Amino acid sequence: MGEELLKVDGLKVRFKTDDGYITTVNGVSFSVKKGETLAIVGESGSGKSVTSLALMGILPPNGEVVDGDVTYKDKDLRTLSKKDYRKIRGNDISMIFQEPMTALNPVFTIGFQLREPLMLHEGLSKKEAQARGVEMLRNVGISDAEKVMGRFPHQLSGGMRQRVMIAMALSCNPELLIADEPTTALDVTIQAQILTLLRNLKESSNTSIMIITHDLGVVAELADRVIVMYAGEVVEVATVHELFESPQHPYTKGLLDSMPKIHDVVNELYSIEGTVPNPAEMPQGCKFHPRCPFGDEECVQTHPNLLNVKGDHAARCIKLAKKELVV
Amino acid sequence: MKYLLKSLLKTIPVLLLITMIVFVLMRLTGDPVSLMLPENATAEERDTLRESLGLNDPLPVQYLAFLGDLVKGDFGDSFRYNMDALDLVLERLPATLELAIASMIVAVIISVPLGILSAIKRNSVLDLFITGGAVVGKAMPNFWLGIMLILFFSVTFQLLPVSGRGTLAHLVLPAITLGTGIAAEMTRLIRSSMLEILGQDFIRTARSKGLRETVVVNQHAFRNALIPVVTIMALQTATLVGGTLITETVFAWPGLGQLLVQAVNLRDMAVVQAATFIIAIFVILSNLSADLIYRLLDPRIKYE
């Protein structure tokens, strides 16, 4: 570990809407190191999925990257030609999505969809790709792989489809796997199986994983390092251990407190008051201040920078600099 | 195969119902005898003719007699042409089918590329141009477009024949006339269908694999977008077989539409019966083939 595989610096993404432009990712910086698993955590609307789509260069047509650098190995992805970008997509960097039910094309067989990236990136013949596809399906725990290759997506369960998606994403041995909420849409038992699958992948290969989730259980299970996002910004960066041991940002603390603990008897679960602000009506100053229990006049006035706490642990809160915050 | 057999069996009651409706309507809406005899014919002469044609029998009796003949493939003779009605219809059928197929080809050639293009370039000037053009194409009456095409291509530049049927050149203008309206409707449908599909998750997956955009659009998206388009194509084909009287009249195209309208006006019952029967068969066939195409396009569709 140590060598940087992907570096994102000051990424800014905006969307064109009927009411003008809305910035959903505002100056996000982080890096993914070789072989590590990085979790990006945040509520819905915090910009975590948009960040991943921007990295892949597959933002919806009304979205665009307006600022920042995305460097993969030595390549500047933002200035890469469309053709060279396509060579990276699905090959060096691949992605699995939240909704396995709709992420596969309903009119093509599993085999067709699995062979596609293999024939495209590895230059395999149809027959070779078929054999590799079967092998990939076996690797993700599908026993009757030959049969599944001939099936259509609607003939498979959600868990099976997510396995197929993972097999597809891993088929060209990517250096980085982006998993956007890969377990959210699945049953709890299936969630556990998919997580095991990802952990095995992490342990058995040198593939870096960037996992996007709002589930802190998933984070604890898989991640080496964590980025907490709020309202399009990174609000805290830490190793998984540091984050759970000593969260610095009030938002992170709130997230951790809202996780029910199995031994505590409580009448009411904790939740952070309010909701993520609408990107069109971002609060002044610190974007979290309207929901922050420590928020005061200064928080309304000043937009805080990311502040190093200890080593690589950083958080975006002005109270930290003044040591006013006891968390 | 079993599905096909079942569907074909199901068409029998439909066809029977159609013959019944047409039969009753034809007999309730006018008397062919008054048109067949000279105006100064006596009441007695009329009655004799009626009797000889079997028109004095009660309707159910007439209908059963008609069905008995129908089973033998006999629709009776045309009052006007004094020849077998079915022969008369079948003689016109190739012209109608030829024009229907050619118009459909024109419609597909125009609408598929334009529909896809306006979807992937949505809200651009090109998209505005195409969707605007589609409205114009839909709004243009066939007779006007037909006449304009004749004036331009046949009269001014003398590139194509004015009217009639014969060579491939004769087919061009009527096919464009009919195909334009259908193309307009199909372009709009393909556009909206493609737009819906392009927003789906599996399109994002296809892009994330690194596939070329043309593969994503033409293979992953288009095949999904085709299903509603096939429905419209089947309906339009049925309409084309059923009657394109105006276009046939403008181009003096010897098709079924002209024959049928003429037969209705002259109370030529046998011809109306034969023509509606044949048209009904083609409407049923085009719907059936749409069902079969759905199955080929979308594996989720299964018929029991």
pLDDT in tens, A254-265: 889 888 777 777
- Give the nearest partner residue to B208 out of A95, A99, A154, using CB atoms: A95
> Which pLDDT score is estimated for B6?
87
Query: Inter-chain contact B205–A97, Cβ cutoff 8 Å?
Result: yes
> Which pLDDT score is estimated for B181?
92
Nearest chain A residue to B120 by CA: give it.
A61
User: A135 and A172 in contact (C-beta within 8 Å)?
Assistant: no
Q: Which contacts qualify for A50-55: CB closer than 8 Å, 24 or more apart?
A: A50/A13, A50/A24, A50/A25, A51/A8, A51/A11, A51/A13, A51/A25, A51/A212, A51/A229, A52/A95, A52/A178, A52/A180, A52/A210, A52/A212, A53/B204, A54/A11, A54/A13, A54/A25, A55/A6, A55/A8, A55/A93, A55/A178
B98 shares its domain with B242: yes
B150 shares its domain with B115: yes
B24 shares its domain with B64: yes
Q: Tell whether B202 lies on the interface with A, counting CB pairs under 8 A.
A: yes
B235 shares its domain with B155: yes
Determine, yes or no, domain membership for B142. yes
* Amino acid code (one letter) for B162: V
What mean pLDDT value characterizes chain B? 90
| CATH of residue B113 | 1.10.3720.10
Query: Inter-chain contact A102–B297, Cβ cutoff 8 Å?
Result: no
Alpha-helical (H) ranges within A122-225 are: 126-139, 145-149, 158-170, 188-204, 216-222
The region of weakest confidence among A103-107, B45-49, B254-258 is B45-49
Q: Which residue has the higher pLDDT, B207 or A323?
A: B207
Query: Inter-chain contact B122–A106, Cβ cutoff 8 Å?
Result: no
Q: CA separation (Å) from B273 to A132, B82, B97, B268?
A: 62, 15, 19, 9
Determine, yes or no, domain membership for B304. no
Show which of residues 93-132 on chain B sit within 8 Å of chain A, judged by CB atoms.
Answer: 122
Determine, yes or no, domain membership for B80. yes
- Contact list in B for residue A87 (CB cut-off 8 A) is 210
Average pLDDT over residues A21-35: 92
Predicted confidence (pLDDT) at residue A29 exceeds the cutoff of 50: yes
Tally of domains within chain B:
2
Q: DSSP states of B13-67 as a string?
A: HHHHHHHHHHHHHHHHS--HHHHHS-TT--HHHHHHHHHHHTTTS-HHHHHHHHH
pLDDT in tens, B195-237: 999 999 999 999 999 999 999 999 999 999 998 899 999 999 9
B54 shares its domain with B116: no
Q: Please report the sign of the dihedral spanned by the C-alpha atoms of residue B33, residue B36, residue B40, residue B41.
A: negative
Cβ pairs A/B, distance under 8 A: 69
Q: Tell whether B2 lies on the interface with A, counting CB pairs under 8 A.
A: no
Determine, yes or no, domain membership for B235. yes
Q: Tell whether B295 lies on the interface with A, counting CB pairs under 8 A.
A: no
pLDDT in tens, B115-150: 999 999 998 999 999 999 999 999 999 889 999 999
Domain boundary among B42, B57, B85: B85
- Contact list in A for residue B299 (CB cut-off 8 A) is 106-107, 152, 154
Determine, yes or no, domain membership for B211. yes
- Give the nearest partner residue to A116 out of B199, B211, B300, using CB atoms: B211
Rounded Cα–Cα distance for residues B27 and B223 (Å): 48
Best CA proximity match to A134, nearest among A151, A120, A147: A147
Confidence of residue A324 (pLDDT cuts 50, 70, 90): low
Determine, yes or no, domain membership for B303. no
B64 shares its domain with B190: no
Rounded to a whole number of angstroms, the distance from the CA of B204 to the nearest CA of chain A is: 7
Which helix (H) or strand (E) segment holds residue B239: the answer is: helix B222-242
Rounded Cα–Cα distance for residues A325 and A314 (Å): 14
Domains of chain A: 4-92+175-321 (3.40.50.300), 100-173 (no CATH)
User: B75 and B273 in contact (C-beta within 8 Å)?
Assistant: yes
Predicted confidence (pLDDT) at residue B183 exceeds the cutoff of 90: yes
Average pLDDT over residues A293-316: 88
| Best to test chain A binding among B120, B202, B230 (most A CBs inside 10 Å) | B202
Share of chain B above pLDDT 90, in %: 54
B70 shares its domain with B204: no
Domain boundary among B85, B104, B130: B85
> Which pLDDT score is estimated for A327?
47
Determine, yes or no, domain membership for B269. no
What tokens appear for B131 in the block? 């969707």
Domain boundary among B85, B106, B135: B85
Best CA proximity match to B150, nearest among B251, B255, B222: B251
Average pLDDT over residues A208-218: 91
B122 shares its domain with B206: yes
Predicted confidence (pLDDT) at residue A266 exceeds the cutoff of 80: no
Query: Inter-chain contact B206–A117, Cβ cutoff 8 Å?
Result: no
- Give the nearest partner residue to B211 out of A97, A102, A120, using CB atoms: A120
B61 shares its domain with B169: no
- Contact list in B for residue A99 (CB cut-off 8 A) is 201
> Which pLDDT score is estimated for A323?
65
B59 shares its domain with B195: no
Predicted confidence (pLDDT) at residue A2 exceeds the cutoff of 70: no
Domain region containing B55: 2-85
pLDDT in tens, A139-168: 998 989 999 999 999 999 988 999 999 999
B75 shares its domain with B92: no
ipTM above 0.85, yes or no: yes
Determine, yes or no, domain membership for B285. yes
Predicted confidence (pLDDT) at residue B243 exceeds the cutoff of 50: yes
Query: Inter-chain contact A103–B202, Cβ cutoff 8 Å?
Result: yes
Share of chain A above pLDDT 70, in %: 98
B189 shares its domain with B43: no
| Best to test chain A binding among B193, B204, B229, B294 (most A CBs inside 10 Å) | B204
φ, ψ at A10 (rounded to 5°): 65, 35
